[in-house]
Amino acid sequence: MAKNDLQGTLELLILKTLAQNSSLHGYGIVLHIQRVSGDLLRVEEGSLYPALHRMEQSQWVRSQWALTETNRRAKFYSLTLAGRKQLAVAEKSWEQTVKGVQAVMKFA
Amino acid sequence: MKLLRRIVALFRRSSIDREIDEELQAHIAMRAEDNVAAGMSPDAAARDARLRFGNPTVVRERTEHVDFALGIDSIWRDIRYAIRGYRNAPIFAIVAITTLALGIGANTAIFQLLNEVRLRSLPVANPEELVDIRIIGGNHGMGISDTRYSSLTRPLWQEIERSHEPLSGVFAWTSNFQNMQTGLTANDIRPVRSINVSSDFFNVLGVAPFAGRFLGPEDAASACTSSNAVVSYSWWQSQMGGRPITAAESVVLDGTQYRIVGVAPARFFGLAVGESFDFVTPLCIPPNVQREHFDVAVMGRLAPGWTSDRATQWFTSASKGFFETALPQGYSSNTTELFRNFKLGAFPAAAGVSNLRDSYDSSLWILLGITGLVLLIACANLANLMLARASARQREVALRMALGATRARLLRQLLIESSLLAITGALLGVGLAQLFSRLLIRALTTGNDSLTLTVHTDWRVLLFAAAVAILTCAVFGTLPAFRASKADPIHALKSGDGHASSRRERFSLQRIMVVVQVAVSMVLLVTALLFVRSFRNLMTVDPGMRERGITIGYIDFHNSKIDPARIEDFKRQLISEVRAVPGVTNVATTSMIPLNGGSWGHGVDVGPKEGNSRFTWVSPTYFQTMEISIVSGRGFNDNDIQSSPRVAIVNKAFIRTFLDGQNPLGKTVRTKAEPRYPSTLFEIVGVIPDTKYNDLRGAPEPMVFVPAMQFPIEANVPGAGVVISSTLPSSVLGEDIKRVLASSHPEIRTRFFELQQQIRNNLLRERLLAILSGFFGALAAILVMVGLYGVVSYLVTRRRNELGIRIALGSTRARIISLVMSEAGRMLLLGTLIGAMISLAATRGASSLLFGLKSWDPVTIALAVASLATVSALASFLPAFRAAALNPVEALRRE
């Protein structure tokens, strides 16, 4: 069975977000997930940063200070090659989790 | 980069905090801005942003935690924690660090010496290109050899200088002692060390002068008459006050005046490691050069593209022509043929040459092994200490584990604690090593044989110290750390005392360590006893002649201009003058001072047998002076002169070798022809017992003594060695004789020293090995005693309860004592057995350094066992006695 948990889900969302946008700051990631999910998913903002820093330690993402369009200094995150590979793994694992959960739900 | 950032962050932790803060603040601000854009009032926008974000401090700390969890910052915290811990237990820290510093210091010191005499290259340009040109396999004792470095004759050098295709440059050199004039009379002299060199010496070595200029071809041209000299930096500093070199600076060496033209750089000590020089003078090649004198060494620098192997091939094939041209005259046909067939080779000489290396190499390796083993024992003791400390901290460790610390985390903490000790110990050890190695060098320096060795702390030494530190850390730190991190927290927390968990296991670990310690110290004790006993054998060996109260003198009278035919008469006159000095009991001349190195031999035919024998020309009183008895036949007398038949006295080894035990009296010995020593027929007239020749260690060898008056006139030199027996000390007697001779012959030079002192100096290596190995052996025994004491005491504490019951049930004190001591006895027995086996294997390599005993000497092993048994009895008796004195009521109540 595929291993998955809450933390893994957040990481998957971040990885996918960064795969679709070349580089985003933390707040941008929150906005992106909220917008794309049609307000269904709201990332708990406080949990975002420990996750981002953990992913940076694992070298899935790298960070860089830059200016936002409103001329504010913010830390921008982007995906590394290792991050891309991790995304593939996480996506696969997520699909299996969904399949598994659905199978259980449809069992009547 | 990441690591670097983290290290930087260590010192700027607040800046990391700031960075995270800034990132979070930017997030909140952006949210607030968006809120305002969506129509909120600024206040409401900010509140909403903060609410959505949660507590910024908590978020910051959580983020920080991710950044620092296993990072360097926490290592720093562990280090601070460890230091705090050691500050609370200063005695433990001091004992551990001192032990390590001494152990690592001793090891590093000996390695430093090894590095100096063996590993370091000469301080010249590209030393790896230097090659030494020698005869492959040596010259088979042919001709006359002056020092151990010189292996070629001057005519051979001239041939090589003419033709040396594989070498871009080549030079000849020889080092010797010369007499420097220090006063007005001829005997106001002091010995100085000089190197005589060919003109390209400094050029080929690539050494530039510190001041002035070096010698060149123009100096070589006038080498034999008057010339220029270069002084060493230390001579320039100590004797010339470091003043500028002017044309007025000059020195008189062996009667020749030299003008000083330059100063060598401070780091240049010549080519012989462990020696130094005072002067460099041009090499003189007189027109009538002695062609059988092997008294120069030749070195060269490989031309680009040549290796020493290819150079050897070239020289080997060129040898025939070289040796043919340099052929000495007057040898027997066999020896001439031998000379013709010598082959030259080119040997790598990057590390220079060294008598010191040859004589101390194996001793130093042995000492390194010994100090290494002592360190191992010390480490085992430390490991025991660490174990005890770890068990006292069991509760702390258990608590931390219960609070969620991982095993890796705890292991790291414990390893950091031990490596902190190791690093501090290593740093102090490297410092101590400087002191130790200098002390050793001072111990190796005997009166007239100065040893010049500057110790360097180069990368090899530092690498060695680091390796030793890591190794020790692994030995004393890792095991206890693993042990402690394995603790079961629930068990440890529940039981009140600090050392409840995995009791049996830790115990056997400590026992294993004691057994290892006993085994290792057994090896050390056997080694120590072997060297001590070997040294004792050497000190008490009977050389077959008198050694106490013998003064040796060298008299140089070449300024007296004596006709060679009259030299023996002049010597006779000199010794009669010496004989008249008050305090002199007897005096004789000899061509070869006994037990003082050097050797003098000739090829002989004795009947059908052919071989080599030592030859010594002595005046008639020699045997009385040296108290050597004539066992049959007669001694020499004043009637044995040039015109009378040649006679000889031989020793018993000679009879065994050449005469198969027949009656030697009347038999004849014929020497083989050599330049200036024509073939001569001697009749044996007397026999002496076997005596030592040039060294106490040597086995008896065939010796022939011949009257000094019958010495070949053409070989005579204006000098004499004399042996004087006296009741006066040599220093006093020497001065008296100097005074007497100075009044009658002001032009002669003399030098005196004590034979026994010289013999002792020659035993320096053995004495040093005996003292140092004895010291380390004793140290090992003490360390084992401490270790055993600790373990047995611990054992008694653990068994307190059981022992209390035994006493309560009526066990006698004697039985308790024997119970505890037999425990120690078992460990001793096992350790001794293992140690004995290891030492049998290990000491085999040292047998060449032993005298008068084999490396598997049963007495030595018995002595080692006995001393270990004594030590362990002492170490275990006190705890055993304490156990026997237990008050059973108290012991039982405690549990």
Which chain A residue's Cα is nearest to B20? A49
pLDDT, residue A2, reads 42
Decide if A27 touches B, using CB distance below 8 A.
Answer: yes
Chain A residues within an 8 Å CB radius of B20: 49
Report residue B151 CA to chain centroid gap.
Answer: 25
Nearest-Cα distance to chain A for B843, in Å, is 55
How confident is the model over B467-519, as pLDDT tens digits?
A: 988 888 887 887 777 777 766 666 666 654 444 444 555 557 778 888 888 99
Nearest CB to A49: which of B33, B55, B63?
B63
pLDDT, residue B363, reads 87
How many helices (DSSP H) and strands (DSSP E) are in chain A? 4, 3
Determine contact, residues B550/B755, Cβ cutoff 8 Å. yes
Among A45, A60, A63, pick the best mutation site for testing chain B contact (most B Cβ within 10 A).
A45
Decide if B814 touches A, using CB distance below 8 A.
Answer: no
Interface of A with B in 60-79 (CB under 8 A): 68, 70, 72-75
pLDDT, residue B558, reads 84
Chain A residues within an 8 Å CB radius of B22: 73
Nearest-Cα distance to chain A for B433, in Å, is 43
Among B2, B17, B66, pick the best mutation site for testing chain A contact (most A Cβ within 10 A).
B66
Mean pLDDT for the stretch of residues B858-868? 91
How confident is the model over B34-55, as pLDDT tens digits?
A: 889 888 888 998 888 888 888 8
Chain B residues within an 8 Å CB radius of A7: none
Nearest CB to A72: which of B26, B55, B58?
B26
Q: Which distant-in-sequence residues (6+ apart) come within 8 Å of A105 by Cβ?
A: none
How confident is the model over B163-178, as pLDDT tens digits?
A: 999 999 999 999 888 8
How confident is the model over B345-354, as pLDDT tens digits?
A: 999 999 888 8
Number of CB atoms found within 10 A of residue A31's CB: 17
Q: Would the pLDDT of A18 be above 80?
A: yes
- Quick check: A27 and B63 CB within 8 A? no
pLDDT, residue B7, reads 59
Interface of B with A in 37-76 (CB under 8 A): 52-55, 58-59, 62-63, 65-67
DSSP H helical ranges for B582-648: 622-625
Q: Would the pLDDT of B289 be above 90?
A: no
pLDDT over 90, % of chain B:
37
Q: Would the pLDDT of B874 be above 70?
A: yes
pLDDT, residue A45, reads 82
Structure tokens that stand for B697 in this block: 């260690």
Q: Which distant-in-sequence residues (6+ apart) come within 8 Å of B488 by Cβ?
A: B398, B501, B502
User: What are residue B509's DSSP bridge partners?
Assistant: none
Nearest CB to A45: which of B27, B33, B58?
B27
Chain A residues within an 8 Å CB radius of B67: 53, 57
Max mean pLDDT range (A96-100, B483-487, B680-684): B680-684
pLDDT, residue B564, reads 86
How confident is the model over B10-19, as pLDDT tens digits?
A: 555 566 677 8
Among A7, A34, A53, A76, pick the best mutation site for testing chain B contact (most B Cβ within 10 A).
A53
Nearest CB to A73: which of B26, B55, B63?
B26
- Quick check: B67 and A45 CB within 8 A? no
How confident is the model over B409-465, as pLDDT tens digits?
A: 778 888 888 888 889 999 999 999 999 988 888 887 765 556 778 888 889 999 999
pLDDT, residue B587, reads 96
pLDDT, residue B668, reads 94
Distance CA B824, CA B821 (A): 5
pLDDT, residue B69, reads 54
Which chain B residue's Cα is nearest to A73? B26
- Phi/psi for B360 (5° steps) reads -115, -5
- Quick check: A50 and B23 CB within 8 A? no
What value, to the nearest 5°, has the Cα angle with vertex B328 and ends B325 and B329?
115
Q: If residue A45 lies in a helix (H) or strand (E), which one and from where to where?
A: helix A45-57
Identify residue B792 by its one-letter amino acid code. V
- Quick check: B62 and A74 CB within 8 A? no
Chain A residues within an 8 Å CB radius of B55: 46
pLDDT, residue B747, reads 87
- Quick check: A53 and B63 CB within 8 A? yes
Closest CA to B76 of B411, B413, B393, B390: B413
DSSP H helical ranges for B143-285: 154-162, 201-205, 217-221, 233-239
Mean pLDDT over each residue of chain B, to the nearest integer: 86
Nearest CB to B66: which of A27, A46, A53?
A53
Distance CA B498, CA B486 (A): 15
Distance CA B445, CA B276 (A): 13
Determine contact, residues A102/A96, Cβ cutoff 8 Å. no
Q: Would the pLDDT of B520 be above 60?
A: yes
* pLDDT band for position A3 (cuts 50, 70, 90): very low
Listing DSSP states for B262-299 in one string gives EE--TT---SBTB---SEEEEPP--TT--TTEEEEEEE
Decide if A101 touches B, using CB distance below 8 A.
Answer: no
Determine contact, residues B559/B551, Cβ cutoff 8 Å. no
Distance CA B527, CA B773 (A): 7
pLDDT over 70, % of chain B:
93
Distance CA B416, CA B434 (A): 27
pLDDT, residue B502, reads 45
pLDDT, residue B4, reads 62
For B667-676, letters b (16+ CB in 10 Å) and e give bebbbbbbbe
pLDDT, residue B489, reads 65
Distance CA B7, CA B76 (A): 10
Chain B residues within an 8 Å CB radius of A73: 22, 26
Chains A, B: CB contacts within 8 A come to: 54
How confident is the model over B62-107, as pLDDT tens digits?
A: 777 766 655 556 677 788 888 888 888 888 888 889 888 988 999 9
Chain B residues within an 8 Å CB radius of A50: 59, 62-63, 65-66
Number of CB atoms found within 10 A of residue B165's CB: 10
Decide if A35 touches B, using CB distance below 8 A.
Answer: no
- Quick check: B30 and A70 CB within 8 A? yes
Determine contact, residues B344/B181, Cβ cutoff 8 Å. no
pLDDT, residue B499, reads 45
Nearest-Cα distance to chain B for A42, in Å, is 10
Distance CA B895, CA B892 (A): 6
- Quick check: A50 and B29 CB within 8 A? no
Structure tokens that stand for B558 in this block: 């070449």
pLDDT, residue B501, reads 42
Structure tokens that stand for B362 in this block: 């194996």
Which chain B residue's Cα is nearest to A56? B67
- Quick check: B23 and A49 CB within 8 A? yes
Q: If residue B371 lies in a helix (H) or strand (E), which one and from where to where?
A: helix B355-392
Which chain B residue's Cα is nearest to A26? B27
- Quick check: A46 and B62 CB within 8 A? yes
Nearest CB to A49: which of B24, B29, B55?
B24
- Quick check: A73 and B53 CB within 8 A? no
How many helices (DSSP H) and strands (DSSP E) are in chain B? 29, 23
Decide if A100 touches B, using CB distance below 8 A.
Answer: no
